[in-house]
Structure 1
Amino acid sequence: MRNKGDRCLKPVPTRLILHSDETENGPGGMEPGGRNMNSWSRRLILGVTLSLALMIPWGAAKAQIKNLNIGIGIDADTLNPQEQTTTLIQNICDLIFDTFFFVKPDGKLEPRLATEYKPSPDGLTWTLKLRQGVKFSDGTPLDAKAVKLSFDRALDPKLKVPLRFAITMVQECVVLDDHTVQLKLKYPFAPLDQTLAMTLVAPISPAAIEKYGEDVRQHPVGAGPYVLKEWVKGDRIVLVRNESYWGPKPTVEQLTFKVVPEVATREAMLRAGQLDICYKPSPANVAALKTDPAIKVEMPLSTRTIFMALRGDRPLMKNKLVRQALNYAVDKKAIVKKILFDTAEPMDGTVSPILFGYAKMEPQYDYNPEKAKELLKKANW
């Protein structure tokens, strides 16, 4: 850690797996990150799955931080939570908007905008109790009508919502009273509570929708801990602390996301103290960055998975022996070492161990080219 300018390198080890599309590796219903850090640190982040919210010190801290400079490789194309498709933009949206629940690292739900939920016995109706007294950053009450409007927009096929498939089980949102809504489902969906932790369903201010229409993507107004102050396309996105946020106030007053496309430039700016956080350094440079005494390196588990999909519907891949042979033929450990420079780990399941639904696969396919040849011979290939 660097006093008055310390930088901290926090590469996120990617999970690596080879699998067929018999086992899915979809987006799921959980988002990484969190808002529960008590200590201040500045971090260089590798990977695309750790929420920037996790890097921000929340709760009680000894000192207020005026500004954090965060180097990112791309500018946002939208700050509408219903339109975002990349983890980086999701991370920024998570700071402007708030969700109904938050999935903690241990998989447990933490109430946010909803204080409780209750599914019906048949699983087709979910009743949500909303937190009272919450307002959007523009002063608009976050009530049941606001929640319904956001759900109606997310479900509207005429609007651009790339991740709508994640809520296709929802038929409609019904207002019961000012602080209660019911979600009517097309079919039972047990992990709906996890889905309600997604950025996709974070409520948007009705006043902002009325004022800006579809241009709300450039003028986001949510109920999160930060407010958009400035967005200079291709240069920077500046967020300031939402002083009316319902929860614990962030200890960082301002976040400046600087758009720096070249990774080498971001790394140089970090070393020079021009950045406090550098998003996605080159894996090849992590070892060298570890030698910098002003940079602290941490390796948390990631939700990202790099995989090679095998098309099980193709004639060649319909043979299980061929699929098994390909798994034995790939040296995942060598890929981790030679290509990802030890910033990843071989997978032993279809999803990261920190995600809901993780299970270790059996059998494990260790690198065994001779076994692969044997299986291909049996398959008459």
Structure 2
Amino acid sequence: MILAACNESTSQTEEEPETETESGETETNETEETAEETEEEPEDTEQADGLYSIDNFSNVKGEDATPIEGGELTFGLVSDTAFDGILNFNFYDGDPDAQVLEWFDEGMLTWDENYVYTNDGAATYTMSEDNKTATITIRDNVNWHDGEPVKAEDLLFAHEVIADPEYDGVRFDGTLRNVEGIEEYHNGEADTISGIEIVDEKTLKITYKEATPSLITGGIWTYPLAKHIFGEMNVADIPSSPEVRQNPIGFGPFKVESIVPGESVVYTKNEDYWRGEPKLDKVTLKVVNPNVVVESLKNGEVDLVSSFPVDQFPDNAEMANVTWLGVTDRAYTYIGFKLGKWDEENSVNVYDPESKMANVNLRKAMAHALDNNTVGERFYHGLRWAGTTLIPPSHPEYHDSENPGLAYDPELAKQLLDEAGYVDTNGDNFREDPEGNELVINFASMSGGEIAEPLVQYYIQAWGQIGLNVQMLDGRLHEFNSFYDRVEADDEAIDIYQAAWSVGIDVDPGGLWGEQTFYNMTRWTNEENTRLIEEGLSEAAFDLETRIKTYKDWQQLMVEEVPAFPTVYRAILVPVNNRVQNYAIGDGTGIYRHQLAVSAEAAETAE
């Protein structure tokens, strides 16, 4: 999905599967985390069998040439659709917007290679002895781009806006609801949020109802909202305001100079950036269609991109003017089943046991029918590989590597359908439902790179081989915005959909699969699911082994109930022009965007 959806911005995001960019939100940018550099020269990236391995890529391009003074750089946002333009972390819901945001704004806290908040960001924090109160102190030199200091009241204001009844974004989720007094404020029962106290201009305390290990790995909302700009606006008007759409403000390394809506952004350096003056004078972001990204890189129109369609990598692995970076993505592509509706009034998912896809054996059969190892090899040359559970290997402590998931087994798939009463009663080679009615399953998926449609057709063919009549919704793929408009609205024409999810720095799966989570677009709910999600956030889960076991149990539950299943885990590949210095992808690199530089005035071109 590339919806940078869900949880918090440290959090999780829905992504567009084939144009590669998911999440809840992405906390700051991928280069802005703390830890030690892991740069190393990649060996031969290609294996003997013609496949590739993400293990053979470096995720850092350091300073291999002397940077020039100043300079400009062009960043390609690889997408087949325009970015929406909701350019504020408190309101955006799509990864393309997150890509725009991360150049000029950021969260208050960074984190280390273990996804734990550090004190190296724009603010420092301490936790109380009972792990329920966070004291956040903003550094004195952290200022908005208009020169106003970022204050404690700005972070309080962000919480108030998200909890406002007129707020129509996605961030008032279980994480925010854990703040003491915030639900009373949301319900109009209190004029203030009792759990947030401003200590002084730069310091505030946030008290939570429950102590949870997630608080220090993404559970603190760290994106302030400039009260001196938005304080007098109606909350419902903020997302469409010029201050969000045309003249957005942040406190990051670059300032927005101009925007061509949906197409491009020009940034200039923020000389007052709290980490230090950026090395680059200017950055230009422009949307680049995945079908022309190779040409744009070869001729030097762009210096680096958000991500590269991995299906195009083998033909371009030897591109002479770039260095290839790679890392295992904190994400997975998945097939979701539509199983209910979103109750807007009560902000809750409502499961419908009578929905077309409610039969668990039908769902299991559809998972067993897909040979995702072959998908990874045929379509992605080894740079995606079969997914097994809904916690990806980017979180090795919690990913259950011993759980095989719903492995490829078409004979088992046929057996499950037979046992559930899905049989072909009219000899057309397609199964009817248990009542003997025609069964047509409408599949929604997004347009994107060259393989988007062949991949969908591959899945449809695989389902056809077990007797299921699956058809593309409206007979075609759908571009990003219309896809999400329909999936989010629970369009009754959609039975299944393909999307992707970026897991946050915190492994908590509630950002996608919680009962009160809007981005649980399957609308599936289950008491055991709720119990395990809550248990993973409980005080007992401060014990690492307890939390690991809880999330292994949760992964197995999702294998058994199958509201969705992962198809592939993913590698991120990013080609970086040879003149670019100090750039990294992934987590824990210790390299920040203000350090970005170039070693020549113009980008290198391929011969």
Common fold by TM > 0.5: yes
How big is the shift at 1:98?
Answer: 2.6
Q: Are 1:252 and 2:280 an aligned pair?
A: yes
Pair 1:247–1:211, CA change in 2 (3 A): farther
Which residue identity is paired with 1:66? G
Larger radius of gyration: 2
Structure 1 position 301, deviation (Å): 0.8
Q: Which has the higher strand share?
A: 1
Q: Which residue of 2 aligns with 1:35?
A: 32
Give the match for residue 352 of structure 1.
Answer: 392
SS of corresponding position for 1:174:
strand
Partner Cα separation in structure 2 for residue 188 and residue 131 of structure 1: 26
**1:377/1:264 CA distance change after superposition, 3 Å:** closer
- 2:218 maps to a residue whose letter is T
* CA deviation after TM superposition for structure 1 residue 340, in Å: 4.1
1:223 aligns with 2:228: no
Cα separation, 2, equivalents of 1:320 and 1:277: 44
Match of 2:228 in 1: 207
Q: Give the distance between the partners of 1:94 and 1:272, measured in 2 at CA.
A: 26
C-alpha distance in structure 2 between counterparts of 1:115 and 1:364, whole Å: 41
Q: Aligned in 2, Cα 1:86/1:140: closer, same or farther, shift over 3 Å?
A: same
Shift of 1:305: 1.6
TM-score (norm 2): 0.49
Alignment of 1:267-346 (within 5 A): 267-310=294-337, 311=339, 314=353, 322-346=362-386
Distance 1:268 1:29 in 2: 29
Deviation of 1:321 after TM superposition, in Å, equals 5.1
Contact 2:75 2:283 in 1 (8 A): yes
Aligned to 2:71: 66
Corresponding residue for residue 195 of structure 1: 218
> Following TM superposition, by how much is the alpha carbon of 1:229 offset from its aligned partner in structure 2, in angstroms?
1.6
Letter in 2 for 1:330: L
For the structure 1 residues 197 and 219, does the alpha-carbon distance in structure 2 shift closer, same or farther, using more than 3 Å as the test? farther
Deviates more, 1:286-295 or 1:207-216: 207-216
- 1:56 and 1:245, CA in 2 relative to 1: closer, same or farther beyond 3 A? farther
Amino acid in the other structure paired with 1:278: V
* Counterpart AA for 1:267: V
Deviation at 1:343, TM superposition (A): 3.7
Counterpart in the other structure of 1:79: 87
Secondary structure (helix, strand or coil) at the match of 1:102 reads: coil
The match for 1:366 is 407
1:140 aligns to 2:163 (yes or no): no
Structure 1 window deviating more from structure 2 (341-350 vs 209-218): it is 209-218
Q: Distance in 1 between matches of 2:364 and 2:242?
A: 50
In terms of mean alpha carbon deviation, does 76-85 or 292-301 score higher?
Answer: 292-301
Q: Identity of aligned pairs, percent?
A: 18
Checking the alignment, whether the CA contact within 8 Å between 1:134 and 1:223 is kept in structure 2 is yes
Structure 1: gaps (5+ residues): 1-13, 17-24, 40-53
Query: How much has 1:26 moved relative to structure 2?
Result: 8.6
CA shift at 1:351, angstroms? 2.4
SS of the equivalent of 1:208 reads helix
Once residues 219 and 182 of structure 1 are traced to their aligned partners in structure 2, the CA distance between those partners, rounded to angstroms, is 30
Q: Which amino acid aligns with 1:291?
A: E
Q: Does 1:177 align with 2:200?
A: yes
Unaligned runs of 5+ in 2: 1-14, 40-58, 183-192, 340-350, 423-607
Deviation at 1:317, TM superposition (A): 6.3
> 1:21 matched to which residue of 2?
none
C-alpha RMSD of matched pairs (Å): 3.7
* Counterpart contact for 2:105–2:250, Cα < 8 Å: yes
